[in-house]
Structure 1
């Protein structure tokens, strides 16, 4: 499993907005986190739709956080950007391609346990924790 570039961008956008604590222009964010403005706008749109960030119009417009950094987990972001974070299609309930043998499959229970641990791990890490970790590193 590999996270998409969009997820990486989304995490960087939210971390930068957590640092600035103000309405911040798309141009500033893109420049400071090293991504193309077009990519930033596409990713920010997803984050706005999920109500993780707010968009502000006008001359001094831009983006700001809608939740506190300690209330945003990596799982919150991944659920917006990844589409699915399931490690195997058999775990995607209600999907047409969901495996009809999952009740009898010897590896299905292992997948379920692993999926639960993975989601719990991503849910346990907040943006605030990442920022605090970064602040403790010597330069």
Structure 2
């Protein structure tokens, strides 16, 4: 599994906002982080919905963090950007299995353990840790 580029950009944006500790314009984010400027609003819209970033209007407008860096985990960012966090279809909430075997399948049980390890690892790393 590979995270999409939007997720990579989102991590960079949150990290940069945490470093700067001030409102940063979309053009500065784009320039410094090498992200297309028209892509910034797409990413920050999802980060706003996840209550990670806030948009500030006006002449001194831009983006700032809504939470302290120690309260934002990689899991928070990744899960706000990716369509799913599940490593296999059978781990989705509907538990779909073409064999109808999720209740007794050993592969499902193993993947469930891997999923938990993956999520726990992302939850254990905060933006403050990266700084």
- Determine if the TM-score, normalized by the shorter chain, exceeds 0.5: yes
Aligned twin of 1:91? 91
Aligned twin of 2:128? 128
CA distance in 1, matches of 2:25, 2:93: 39
What stretches of structure 1 of length at least 5 have no aligned partner?
Answer: 132-139
Q: TM-score, normalised by structure 1?
A: 0.90
**Residue by residue, what CA displacement relative to the aligned partner does 1:21-50 show, whole Å, maximum 9, x if unpaired?**
111111011111111011111101110111
State how many pairs are aligned.
129
CA distance in 1, matches of 2:66, 2:43: 15
Structure 1 runs (4+) greater than 4 angstroms displaced: none
SS in 2 for 1:107: helix
What stretches of structure 2 of length at least 5 have no aligned partner?
Answer: none
Aligned twin of 1:107? 107
Tell me, yes or no, if structure 1 residue 8 matches structure 2 residue 26.
Answer: no
RMSD: 1.0
Q: TM-score, normalised by structure 2?
A: 0.95
Structure 2 counterparts to residues 53-92 of structure 1, below 5 A: 53-92=53-92
